[in-house]
A and B are shown apart, each in its own frame.
Chain A
Amino acid sequence: MLEIRNVYKTFNPGTVNEKTALDGLSLRLEEGDFVTVIGGNGAGKSTMLNAVAGTWPVDSGNILIDGIDVTRLPEHKRAKYLGRVFQDPMMGTAPNMQIAENLALAARRGDARTLKVGITRAELAEYREKLKELELGLEDRITAKVGLLSGGQRQALTLLMATLKKPRLLLLDEHTAALDPKTAAKVLELSDKIVAENKLTTLMVTHNMRDAIAHGNRLIMLSAGRVVLDIAGEEKKKLTVQDLLQRFSTASGEEFSNDRALLS
């Protein structure tokens, strides 16, 4: 369904800040896979997601979605295949537009923007229903500006926006990292529910090893821009954080270094 073939990406080439973020990364996702992604600081987790989303062009390699080569497609054209939730709650929504307007923009992802009315009455009713499922009371504030919402509410809304029009692939980029533990747990639970209901193929980056083990059917670990561990099925279910740390140092020959991952 998603195929990343031998992708390289180096930031700031030729400068002292040169950083090879993706070093021949290859990954294949099957339809319905819910893959959690962990890795140390600078392992290339977010870079991988941005490469798939087309935030910038990759240096070499190919990215295929449903067998279509999207490597050269600009970000806004790839968007029709992708639902995205970012780490920063500010990134996923337009703050000075209404909740309903944000949803209406998301509902048209991948469609040409025409001179038809931007939001219909029928849509408003539909959005109210969908917002009710978030259980945050947003259905009563549908004309409120998104800038007034809390970080957790905004992430929940972004999640709804990302899946309002069913994406071929859902990209969750540490989408609970900026939230307090209680809110983070709620947003994660919501993510699970939405992914399961829509049978979405999902890539979820997380810094929390327990979350990475508890969610999804497959877990990959990145190190220095490559996949060093790929654990699925029964094996993943039996996994513990200790196992994971052990297997990481065997696979990569170094200690796992991600301050946030070890602290949480």
Chain B
Amino acid sequence: MANLASFFNALPGAVSQGLIWGIMAIGVYITYKLLDVADLTVDGSFCTGGAACVMLITAGYNVWLALLAAVLVGMIAGIVTGLLHTACGIPAILAGILTQLGLWSVNLAIMGMKANQSLNVANHELLVSLRYLQDVSKGERPFWQHPIFVAALFTLALVVILYWFFGTELGSSIRATGANPHMARAQGINTNFNIVLGLMISNGLVALSGALLAQYQSFADINMGRGAIVIGLAAVIIGEVVFSHIFHNFGLKLIAVSIGSIIYYVVIQAVVSLSEINTNYLKLISALIVAIFLTIPYWKGKYFAKPVKRGGSSHA
């Protein structure tokens, strides 16, 4: 029962993390679902965002400015992958891997060639922090500084902006690029430009998420983005499996991704709290979960397809 208690104690933290990672998952949704590209840049750009944010805050810059800078460097990473893919003709997956690998060095350089950099919570006013979560529950801070509240607000604002953007002429043309590039070009859409733009937006969101997570855990670490793409895909798929029958609107689909991320973190937390598992096995479990969820729809179509009854064939 002690385990159950520890699970409930850890729940607000798990939800906060889920919401923060959910922003990254929304970035993954844009590339994976809208552009039809599996972008592996995110494993690197997530850390880039975190590193840039921590270094700037430590250097005394305003937290919003640090956040903005994090988004910008993430966008640059996306542009690099996009150009490697479109201008240099490198397959999208490989282009992402190349950028991700290069970012390893860049991220270390940003952090002054150290594998991690911590943020002194006492010295800086942050947007989200694990410390604030405790402070709010002790009544030392107002409820609106609770990480769940802040992260949810960020998510909502981003969903509203993305909903608007993907309804504009430009946003629609990005969706068309992912849906059918032949058709897009025949309708005068510059598909290469749109792919770069989509990757830029996606990695901007991923870096923002990384910046928020670095604040939340009060450090940036060179490994913080490792496996991010898998977590992003997990969130996208869980959101889809749970909500695809009720959420048809684009904005709601983005919210489903965010909720998918929360579910993922709550489940992981449950596994950690309720079992004696070594946390080093979590990545294996994550990989298995995503592999299973990606397999189900494929096998469903291949092995469990219902035979179609052909009406009227006997009269033919």
Binding site for B on A (CB under 8 A): 53, 74-77, 79-80, 82, 84, 86, 90-97, 101-102, 104-106, 108-111, 113-119, 161
Q: Which residues of chain B are near A93, meaning CB under 8 Å?
A: 180, 183
Tally chain B residues at the interface, Cβ within 8 Å: 22
- Assembly CA distance A82 to B167 (angstroms): 25
Q: Which of B170, B173, B185, B191 lies at the interface centre, i.e. has the most chain A CB atoms within 10 A of its CB?
A: B185
Establish whether residues B180 and A94, one from each chain, have CB atoms under 8 Å apart when the complex forms. yes
- Assembly CA distance A75 to B189 (angstroms): 9
Tell me the residues in window 184-200 of chain B with beta carbons closer than 8 Å to chain A beta carbons: 184-191
Q: Is the interface of A mostly helix, strand, loop or mixed?
A: loop
Asked if B283 lies at the interface with its beta carbon under 8 angstroms from chain A, I say: no
Q: Which residues of chain B are near A95, meaning CB under 8 Å?
A: 179-180
Find A75's partner among B168, B169, B171, B185 (CB 8 Å cutoff). B185
Can you give 25 contacting A-B residue pairs, CB < 8 Å? A74-B190, A75-B186, A76-B185, A76-B188, A76-B191, A79-B189, A84-B186, A86-B186, A94-B175, A94-B176, A94-B180, A94-B184, A97-B179, A101-B172, A101-B175, A105-B172, A105-B173, A105-B183, A108-B187, A113-B173, A113-B189, A114-B168, A117-B167, A117-B169, A118-B169
- Assembly CA distance A92 to B20 (angstroms): 39
Establish whether residues B183 and A94, one from each chain, have CB atoms under 8 Å apart when the complex forms. yes
Establish whether residues B186 and A110, one from each chain, have CB atoms under 8 Å apart when the complex forms. no
**CB nearest to A90 among chain B residues:** B180
Asked if B124 lies at the interface with its beta carbon under 8 angstroms from chain A, I say: no
Tell me the residues in window 59-108 of chain B with beta carbons closer than 8 Å to chain A beta carbons: none
Q: Which residues of chain B are near A104, meaning CB under 8 Å?
A: 172
| Known pairs A93-B180, A94-B176, A96-B179; A161 contacts B187 (CB<8 A) | yes
Q: Which residues of chain B are near A101, meaning CB under 8 Å?
A: 172, 175
Q: Which residues of chain B are near A90, meaning CB under 8 Å?
A: 180
Establish whether residues A91 and B180, one from each chain, have CB atoms under 8 Å apart when the complex forms. yes
Establish whether residues B169 and A97, one from each chain, have CB atoms under 8 Å apart when the complex forms. no
Establish whether residues A109 and B187, one from each chain, have CB atoms under 8 Å apart when the complex forms. yes
- Assembly CA distance A227 to B72 (angstroms): 55
Given A90-B180, A92-B182, A161-B187, 19 other A-B contacts at CB below 8 A? A76-B191, A79-B188, A91-B182, A95-B179, A95-B180, A97-B172, A97-B179, A105-B183, A108-B169, A108-B188, A109-B187, A110-B188, A111-B169, A113-B168, A115-B168, A115-B169, A116-B168, A117-B168, A118-B172
**CB nearest to A81 among chain B residues:** B188
**CB nearest to A92 among chain B residues:** B183
Q: Which 9 pairs, one residue from A and one from B, show the smallest C-beta to C-beta distance?
A: A79-B188, A94-B179, A118-B172, A113-B169, A113-B170, A109-B188, A113-B173, A94-B180, A75-B185
- Assembly CA distance A91 to B39 (angstroms): 25
- Assembly CA distance A101 to B189 (angstroms): 14
Establish whether residues A97 and B185, one from each chain, have CB atoms under 8 Å apart when the complex forms. no
**CB nearest to B186 among chain A residues:** A84
Distance in Å: Cβ of A149 to nearest Cβ of chain B = 14
Distance in Å: Cβ of A68 to nearest Cβ of chain B = 16
Establish whether residues B189 and A116, one from each chain, have CB atoms under 8 Å apart when the complex forms. no
Distance in Å: Cβ of B180 to nearest Cβ of chain A = 5
- Assembly CA distance A161 to B187 (angstroms): 9
**CB nearest to B194 among chain A residues:** A113
Establish whether residues B183 and A91, one from each chain, have CB atoms under 8 Å apart when the complex forms. yes
Q: Which residues of chain B are near A118, meaning CB under 8 Å?
A: 167-169, 171-172
Q: Which residues of chain A are near B170, meaning CB under 8 Å?
A: 113-115
Establish whether residues A80 and B179, one from each chain, have CB atoms under 8 Å apart when the complex forms. no
**CB nearest to A161 among chain B residues:** B187
Establish whether residues B169 and A114, one from each chain, have CB atoms under 8 Å apart when the complex forms. yes
